[in-house]
Structure 1
Amino acid sequence: MRTLPEGLDLSRLCHAWIVERADGVTLGFTDHDRDLLVDGVTCRAGGGWSPGASEGGVGYAPGQAAALGVLDDAGIAEADLDAGLYDGAKVAAWRVDWSAPSRLVRLWTATIAALSREGRAFKASLAGPAAALERVAGRTFTRLCDARLGDARCGVTTAPGATCDKRWSTCVGVFANGVNFRGFPTSPGEDFLTLYPVEGERNDGGRR
């Protein structure tokens, strides 16, 4: 629940967006008809930045949004966009009382996940903070290889149409690539749970 600042005039509200790039450069934009100083950043009027369609996430879903804009050498320059300086940039959206910009409410924060261009126009796809929960961390402990055939971890130079079932026997027998196998072929499988001692057999741990 957001707490509104005391004295906020709901009839004089506008939007402001503050973009912080990874190289430390910070830019501000507003849909008001004049520049505003918001949270210590000068937000330019008519800077060519506006919100697009959004899809809010429920619970822990990341949610998606978009920002639309026009390239402007005084704001978002074409060369900076092409150089990737906005990749992963942080974006904060504010609701501001333009008559007293110190009275403001932060609506959301996001990260620029992808950028696309068409002529002088651009579209930034934004991902909310919960998007980090979808990142894969670590590796899965499984008998199968978790590399992709032909990638850097696999190291095999593949012919068109080649496939791999990610099994140890295939990696060794078909591709002679056992040294790069990225699975755990001797790990116990689900059948291990059903094993039990049998009279007359050697129960020395050698049977899975």
Structure 2
Amino acid sequence: MAESTRVWFSGALETVAIWWRLERKDGVTLGFTSHDRDLTFEGLVHRTAPGMVPSAIRRTADFEADSAEVAGALSHDSIREEDLAAGRFDGGSIAMGLVDWETFERVTLYAGTIGSVGHEGAGFSAELRSSKDGLARQIVPRTAPTCRAEFCGEGCTLSAAAYSHLAQLAEISSDGGAVRVSGGPASAMLAYGTLRWLDGAEAGLVRRIEAIDSTWLMLDRTTANTIPLGTSVELREGCDHTLETCAQRFGNAINFQGEPFLPGNDLLTRYPAAQQ
């Protein structure tokens, strides 16, 4: 059914509920509604979640980003504290709107992505970023001595598959902030790369490798030290975004997205030197 063009809340009594749809980056899609029973439409069951409340949704006719926020209790099986802490909802897409629970006429009031997610006590709150946030990006990129392109992403042109490797978990540090793996490339090649869990409780989660300490991979987020050894992971090599690495290691200097030889701002503050 196409979205309704009706005028909502035009009568004294309306059979209207709020709906939310969350799509995580790992592909899991969740639907919720403020109604007192589950509602199914567009092939998705929207579970009743009366504890979830949207703040005022502000929509503008100009290019200014729309604003909204959603809050609720950590009482629904689909939204668990450990999933929030693991970042499963970070960067996912969200849509919310109104639905008539009798006719299933509906309208989308807000669509965007999930920004920062926090939890306090038995509740959580999520900052929402509207689709118009993309209009705020800089049209002309700022100059920088390092490459602006994401490794194996747009502008880099290198194949992600060529620099991805399968390995197995060999050890986890006591604080969960570092892991060792068996298989894959040398540890030094993984600095600034990523590790994606393929099995276990954290399957689908991607962690950035912030640094290398001997054979330990230092991750950007802690992981549960109860993950069984031998769990499969996918490793993506990393790049420090310098021209030297791009040219010598990857042979990709022609696609380098930076200006390594452009004089910096300090050129204007230098004192002239007398000729000898």
Shorter chain as denominator, the TM-score bin is: 0.5 to 0.7
- Consecutive aligned runs of 4 or more in structure 1 exceeding 6 Å deviation: none
Of all paired residues, the percent bearing the same amino acid is: 33
Change (3 A) 1:183 1:135: farther
* Aligned counterparts of 1:47 and 1:31: Cα–Cα separation in 2: 5
Segments of 5+ residues of structure 1 without an aligned counterpart are 153-180, 187-208
Give the CA RMSD over aligned residues: 3.3
How do residues 54-93 of structure 1 correspond to structure 2 at under 5 angstroms?
54-72=57-75, 74-93=77-96
Aligned to 2:19: 16
* Aligned counterparts of 1:54 and 1:84: Cα–Cα separation in 2: 24
Change (3 A) 1:57 1:43: same
How do residues 184-195 of structure 1 correspond to structure 2 at under 5 angstroms?
184-185=262-263
Aligned to 1:4: 5
* Residues 1:129 and 2:131 aligned together: yes
What do residues 140-181 of structure 1 show as CA deviations (whole Å, max 9, x unaligned)? 25xxx678xxxx9xxxxxxxxxxxxxxxxxxxxxxxxxxxx9
Change (3 A) 1:53 1:96: closer
* Aligned counterparts of 1:129 and 1:61: Cα–Cα separation in 2: 11
Please give the secondary structure, in 2, of the residue aligned with 1:132.
Answer: helix
Total equivalences in the alignment = 150
What do residues 53-98 of structure 1 show as CA deviations (whole Å, max 9, x unaligned)? 4443451111221000111351211111111010011111121110
Segments of 5+ residues of structure 2 without an aligned counterpart are 147-191, 193-258, 265-276
Q: TM-score, with normalisation over the residues of structure 1?
A: 0.61
Change (3 A) 1:106 1:63: closer
Aligned to 1:160: none
Q: Is the 8 A contact 1:94 1:106 kept in 2?
A: yes
What do residues 86-112 of structure 1 show as CA deviations (whole Å, max 9, x unaligned)? 0011111121110122x2122221111
* Residues 1:95 and 2:98 aligned together: yes
**Structure number with bigger Rg:** 1
Q: TM-score, with normalisation over the residues of structure 2?
A: 0.47
- The letter for the 2-side match of 1:120 is A
